[in-house]
Amino acid sequence: MLTVNAVGAPSATDPLEPMTIDRRDLNPEDVLIEIRFCGICHSDINHARSIWHPERYPLVPGHEIAGVVTAVGRDVTRHAPGDRVGVGCMVDSCGHCGNCLNGEEQYCLNGMTLTFGSVDRHGEYTQGGYSTHIVVKDDFVLKIPDNIALEDAGPLLCAGITTYWPLAHWQAGPGKRVAVIGLGGLGHMAIKIAAAMGSEVAVLSQTTRKRDDALRLGAHEFHATGDPGELAKLADSFDIVVNTVSAAVDLDPYLSLLALGGTLANVGAPAEAQTFSMWSVLRNRRNLAGSLIGGNRETQEMLDFCSEHGIGPEIEMIAADGINEAYERVLSSDVRYRFVIDIATLS
Ligand code: NAP
Ligand code: ZN
């Protein structure tokens, strides 16, 4: 067992604080990773504060992990010490159900193991990437392409794949109009990926504050949703609307943006239930959809896509003692556009 430094939540209400956690000895299929950087996802905050459901504490968040392999178990063939690797939101799944066999481990019929806050198949409570090391099963360790800097790699493993998946699935590309709602961590990756796929991209943000950034990130249009007339002008005009908003919003105005057969792809995960008028989907036979991250194969495909198109996140690097302040800024929509923790400040 390896005892390592970490930063975690002692309870749902206390600020995060330094702590130590134990990492298991390597099983034959395990990889030991020295973590260099870890992104901060809005979901980390929802877990740390028990927003979605009660969690077990202490809890070390972090599922946008980038680092270097330092040791491997005897059966590991895909990774070797020195490799640049990453870990996203999940660290295990059953591997034999239909969904796992289909490469959709995030929908494992026997339940995937989350990178933190899950009980794994060894019976241990998983702890995430705000820590110096992690032990992860070979199959759930992704290879970071050479031209992607390690500090940029972490956010791709949650924000990147979560937005790449719906854009790829609903076939964003030339001739398609895509709207991205919410310009935060997921939203800014959605803009870059949708633009790289060749689609026309519009950004819908609460205020005009992020207009220049949206256009610089690759958007072709920007609309502030605070002005009710603005959305009405865009009715029936998009093929795909990607909703990345972390809070519950009225879905009807967003559904009304869709052209015939268009899809509202929800990836934002508010805790509250939401309602919508059935007429919003009957008209234009619209689709209301949602998705969780992506499978391992698709995540590697997304990394290769980002490598090929030179896409990375816009990051603000922080030291480990800045995590609580960063959380407050994420909660007030003041992140531009992903905080990344320099794990060297934890050692
Ligand atoms: P984030 O960086 O905080 O971005 C969320 C954005 O939503 C904000 O920047 C803001 O954009 C907008 N927003 C926030 N509150 C709003 C409100 N009350 N009304 C309207 N817009 C609001 O968060 P994130 O890390 O991108 O995560 C976004 C959501 O996705 C979270 O719910 C997270 O838990 C979820 N998530 C889901 C998956 C999945 O697999 N489906 C994966 C990762 C994260 P503007 O300032 O531009 O308005
Ligand atoms: Zn995430």
Q: Categorize the per-residue pLDDT at 117 as very low, low, confident or very high, splitting at 50, 70 and 90.
A: very high
Give the C-alpha separation, 97 to 112, whole Å: 11
Q: Categorize the per-residue pLDDT at 347 as very low, low, confident or very high, splitting at 50, 70 and 90.
A: confident
Choice from 42, 112, 162 to test ligand 1 binding pocket (greatest atom count within 8 A of CB): 42
Q: Name which residue sits closest to atom 44 of ligand 1, judged by CA.
A: 43
Q: What is the pLDDT of residue 105?
A: 98
Using the predicted structure, report yes or no on whether residue 22 has a pLDDT greater than 80: yes
Helices (runs of H) and strands (runs of E) counted in the chain: 11, 17
Torsion of CA 232, 180, 314, 213, to 10 degrees: -20
CA atoms within 13 Å, Cβ hemisphere of 292: 13
Beta strands 113-114 and 90-92 are antiparallel
User: What average pLDDT does the segment 166-191 reach?
Assistant: 98
Nearest to 69 by CA among 36, 37, 38, 32: 32
All structural domains of the chain: 2-148+312-346 (3.90.180.10), 160-290 (3.40.50.720)
Contact status, residue 126 vs residue 39, Cβ threshold 8 Å: no
Nearest to 258 by CA among 282, 291, 229: 282
Q: How far is CA 298 from the centre of its chain?
A: 13
Nearest to 199 by CA among 238, 163, 244, 160: 238
Q: Tokens standing for 52?
A: 């979605």
Choice from 189, 191, 244 to test ligand 1 binding pocket (greatest atom count within 8 A of CB): 244
Does residue 266 have its Cβ closer than 6 Å to ligand 1? no
3-state secondary structure of 323: helix
User: What average pLDDT does the segment 135-155 reach?
Assistant: 98
Give the C-alpha separation, 39 to 130, whole Å: 9
Average pLDDT, the chain: 97
Is the whole model's pTM more than 0.85, yes or no?
yes
pLDDT tens-digit profile of 54-112?
999 999 999 999 999 999 999 999 999 999 999 999 999 999 999 999 999 999 999 99
pLDDT tens-digit profile of 195-254?
999 999 999 999 999 999 999 999 999 999 988 788 999 999 999 999 999 999 999 999
